Structure 1
Amino acid sequence: MVDRRLSSTEPHYFIVLNRDPYGDKLLLLAVASSQVEKVRARRKRKSLPPETVVEISPSDYQDFKVDSCVNCNTVFTKSLVELADQWKRKEIRGQADLGDTILQQLITGIMASPMIPEEEKKLVSDC
């Protein structure tokens, strides 16, 4: 999916993080980047917790062809209706599930980030 808020016009992998995506009004989306060094440097420069950048290799997730990462300090919100409309228009497509281990690392990163508002954290927390 391409999003106007991203600096690149290339399609990106967006990851739905909600515990209850069909029951929540908003979906919390994280985005994967192949610019691992830049994301690491940005996190370090801003003195953000290390667990807020989750690195994912092609051996961890078969749909990634290069080493990638997710910056859990930056997330996007989108309604389920909006995402469904994009699906119908074939603007987005589904990929294989990430798996529980990576998903839990992403949730841990979101919860550790001081940049993510509490109301957005509630979408991914167990409580």
Structure 2
Amino acid sequence: MVPYGTKGELVVKSDNVLGLEQLVDGSYHFTSREEIKERLPDILGRALARTWIDKDFNNNFSKNPQGTLEQHGIFLPDNTIIEFEKRDSNRPRIVVYEKKPNSKFKLRIFYLQLVMMAGR
């Protein structure tokens, strides 16, 4: 729902009509794997959708996903790795990994990928 002013004009709280300036209100510091599994998919879903409509965000996020999230107030534990993959398709994918200390291996926590569906 979009609020209306007293004279019927559209009230917009930001200069950006699409509201692309934030992924979260304020900032958020993740501290555990469980918290990442519960809350990060929603935030990364917004980020993934934004890569489709905001070229600057797409360029920044594809080069440095974690740095881009930090610029938007989202901070992850040091052992968390985010990779932005865009293989041979136009559907980008975000994969979140956890890396144990003193290990070469990383464990996938989850991944997100936009799926386009047609409806009638």
Q: Do they fold alike, i.e. is TM over 0.5?
A: no
Structure number with greater CO (CA < 8 Å, separation at least 6) is 1
TM-score scaled by length of structure 1: 0.24
Higher-Rg structure is 2
TM-score scaled by length of structure 2: 0.25
